[in-house]
């Protein structure tokens, strides 16, 4: 490698740009070894945003990988279109996942495992318990504030002679909910056909419980007062309508439905029952988020600056921009808050397939906030073919690709994706695939050790994980 014992190694005489290109082809363990070879190698790696970004990702269990278009399209289809993928549900400080399934002909979980994240500041201890039921669930939803667990009976949704019904239970005990006046069961109206497997939307908002189902022929909405079981609104629209399931506010969803099919058209359709509740919902002030839903029901982001709703974000696969400027609007009881979020394209991982050598300086990797009010909510960036996801919590107000990620950046190793929920005290990610890892970041609980396995579940009888990859992990990192 040298011409004589006193000569400088020839590799050190090569221009730094060429050495950098060579180092970019190395795997991360080999790259870390090169850091220790000499000072020049160390400086080249330290000054490369691309290499520092890749090292940081690996240190946090993440990997930036380019996807082929066909595989990306398949992943998006599996994640967005197939509603069966969205069964596990997480909420404020709680993690709920299915631990046992019934065999054919009717599939669905018959046991849920609930884990309460501990909080040192609030004096809450970790708690884990199981809820068993004697039927298969087609879906379930949780309202922690009301200790409410709503479970849909899969058998009733797949049997022509049974009226689809929902079970109302206490999340803490599994018993019939004490506020239910219908013996813990809510049934669909008699004249409605079974929802089958087309549930698009299920929300609990105050005393209201709503289901929206879409088939190839129609879209159906039923809203109950879950205390009394009385139907307060029913809407049957003659066409399918998708794309609103990422919205958390029930009124916005109903308003979107009524905007697409105006009240005049609804009034002419005898299958639609307009109630004062629906009419009041329709009178919500027009806003950019609603116009965006109507304009693009399936919601694809095509250009920087497009108005996007807070929540799940699925970008168009053709987007080729080095920095994405998102204008996110958050619905609050007191009004709308707005902020601009500038995120380097590398943080979007492989979905935008950016050239990592482009400008990823501090000005691009900054977050500017203006006229912000209300409770902060994170922004979920999409996962790549390895399933890594990036989360930006606007509380940190900054992102950087050249330094180790802040607590707002965590990886989610899952091929198919995950459902998320953000509460006042915890940010939780749940993976519905039993052989993948999900992570939860409890913001208050700094006493937890990173990587500590808290709970887990797969097809084992007791819900205790025995496979090395079938577990759920809760992590906490310092916010300083």
DSSP one-letter string for 76-115: HIIIII-GGGG--EEETTEEEEEEEEE-TTS-EEEEEEEE
Report the distance separating Cα 405 and Cα 424, nearest Å.
22
Q: What is the pLDDT along the chain (480 residues), one digit of tens a residue?
A: 444 445 667 777 778 888 888 888 888 888 888 877 788 888 888 888 778 777 776 766 565 554 445 555 554 454 444 444 334 444 455 666 665 555 545 556 677 777 776 666 667 777 778 888 887 777 778 887 788 888 887 665 555 555 667 889 998 888 999 999 888 888 776 655 444 445 656 778 778 888 777 666 667 778 888 898 888 777 776 666 554 544 556 666 666 666 555 555 555 555 555 566 666 665 554 544 444 444 333 222 233 333 333 222 323 222 222 222 222 222 222 222 222 223 332 222 222 222 222 222 222 222 222 222 222 333 333 322 223 333 333 333 222 222 222 222 222 222 222 233 222 222 222 222 222 222 332 322 222 222 223 333 333 333 222 222 222 222 222 222
Q: pLDDT tens-digit profile of 355-383?
A: 222 222 222 222 222 222 222 333 333 32
Residue 334 in domain: no
Parent domain of 14: 10-47
pLDDT of residue 177: 92
Order of strands across the sheet that contains 94-102: 89-91, 94-102, 108-116, 127-132
Ramachandran region of residue 206, left (φ > 0), alpha (ψ -120 to 50) or beta? left
* Residue 6 CB-density burial (10 A; 0-12 exposed, 13-18 middle, 19+ buried): exposed
Residue 32 in domain: yes
SS3 state at 176? strand
Ramachandran region of residue 433, left (φ > 0), alpha (ψ -120 to 50) or beta? beta
Residue 42 in domain: yes
Residue 129 in domain: no
Instruction: Report yes or no: 308 and 382 within 8 Å, Cβ to Cβ.
Output: no
**CB half-sphere exposure, 132, CA atoms < 13 A:** 6
Beta bridge mates, 202? 211
Order of strands across the sheet that contains 335-344: 307-309, 323-332, 335-344, 367-368
pLDDT of residue 322: 21
Residue 15 in domain: yes
Q: Which residue has the tokens 């109507």?
A: 294
Order of strands across the sheet that contains 219-225: 199-205, 208-214, 219-225, 230-237
Closest Cα to residue 187, out of 204, 169, 165, 209? 165
SS3 state at 366? strand
Report the distance separating Cα 476 and Cα 128, nearest Å.
18
For residue 318, the 8-state DSSP code is: T
Radius of gyration of the chain (CA): 25
SS3 state at 185? strand
Tell me the pTM: 0.44
Instruction: Report yes or no: 222 and 234 within 8 Å, Cβ to Cβ.
Output: yes
Q: pLDDT tens-digit profile of 50-67?
A: 787 777 767 665 655 544
Instruction: Report yes or no: 219 and 241 within 8 Å, Cβ to Cβ.
Output: yes
Counted domains in the chain = 1
pLDDT of residue 439: 30
Residue 57 in domain: no
Q: pLDDT tens-digit profile of 186-214?
A: 877 665 544 444 565 677 877 888 877 76
Closest Cα to residue 258, out of 274, 243, 246? 274
Instruction: Report yes or no: 413 and 472 within 8 Å, Cβ to Cβ.
Output: no
Beta bridge mates, 176? 169
Residue 22 in domain: yes
Phi, psi of 356, rounded to the nearest 5 degrees = -70, -15
| Token pair recorded at residue 113 | 């495992």
Report the distance separating Cα 207 and Cα 143, nearest Å.
11
Beta bridge mates, 419? 430
Cis omega (within 30 of 0) on the bond before 350?
Answer: no
Report the distance separating Cα 89 and Cα 87, nearest Å.
6
Instruction: Report yes or no: 213 and 195 within 8 Å, Cβ to Cβ.
Output: yes
Residue 19 in domain: yes
């Amino acid at each position: 490698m040298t011409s004589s014992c006193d000569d400088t190694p020839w590799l050190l005489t090569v221009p730094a740009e060429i050495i950098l290109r060579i180092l970019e082809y190395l795997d991360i363990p080999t790259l870390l070894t090169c850091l220790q070879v000499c000072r020049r190698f160390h400086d080249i790696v330290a000054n490369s945003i691309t290499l520092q970004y890749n090292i940081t990702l690996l240190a946090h269990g993440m990997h930036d990988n380019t996807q082929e278009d066909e595989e990306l399209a398949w992943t998006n289809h599996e994640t967005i279109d197939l509603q069966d993928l969205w069964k596990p549900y997480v909420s404020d400080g709680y993690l709920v996942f299915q631990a046992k399934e019934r065999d054919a002909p009717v599939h669905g979980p018959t046991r849920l495992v609930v884990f309460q994240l501990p909080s040192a500041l609030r004096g809450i201890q970790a708690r884990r318990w199981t809820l068993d039921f004697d039927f298969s669930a087609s879906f379930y939803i949780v309202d922690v504030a009301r200790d409410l667990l709503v479970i849909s009976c899969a058998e009733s949704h797949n049997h022509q002679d049974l009226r689809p019904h929902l079970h109302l239970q206490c999340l803490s005990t599994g018993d019939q909910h004490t506020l239910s006046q219908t013996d813990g069961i809510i049934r669909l109206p008699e004249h409605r056909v079974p929802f089958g497997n087309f549930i698009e939307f299920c929300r609990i908002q105050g005393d209201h419980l709503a289901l929206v189902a879409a088939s190839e022929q129609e879209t159906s909405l039923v809203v109950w007062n879950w205390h009394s079981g009385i139907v307060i609104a029913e809407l049957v629209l003659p066409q399918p309508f998708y794309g609103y399931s990422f919205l958390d506010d029930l009124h916005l969803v109903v308003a979107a439905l009524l905007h697409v099919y105006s009240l005049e058209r609804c009034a002419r359709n005898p299958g639609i029952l307009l109630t004062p509740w629906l009419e009041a919902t329709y009178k919500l002030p027009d806003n950019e988020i609603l116009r965006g839903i109507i304009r693009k029901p399936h919601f694809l982001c095509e250009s920087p600056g497009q108005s996007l709703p807070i929540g799940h974000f699925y970008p168009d696969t053709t987007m080729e921009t080095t920095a994405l400027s998102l204008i996110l609007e958050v619905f609050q009881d007191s009004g709308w808050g707005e902020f601009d979020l500038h995120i380097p394209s590398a943080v979007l991982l492989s979905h935008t397939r950016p050239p990592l050598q482009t400008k990823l300086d501090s000005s691009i990797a900054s977050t500017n906030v203006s006229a912000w009010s209300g409770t902060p909510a994170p922004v979920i960036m999409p996962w790549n073919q390895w399933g890594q996801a990036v989360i930006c919590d606007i509380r940190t107000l900054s992102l950087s690709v050249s330094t180790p990620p802040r607590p707002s950046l965590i990886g989610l190793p899952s091929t198919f994706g995950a459902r998320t929920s953000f509460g006042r005290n915890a940010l939780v990610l749940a993976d519905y695939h039993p052989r993948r890892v999900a992570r939860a970041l409890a913001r208050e609980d700094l006493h937890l050790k990173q990587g500590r396995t808290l709970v887990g579940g797969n097809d084992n009888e007791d819900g205790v994980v025995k496979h090395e990859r079938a577990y759920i992990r809760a992590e906490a990192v310092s916010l300083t």
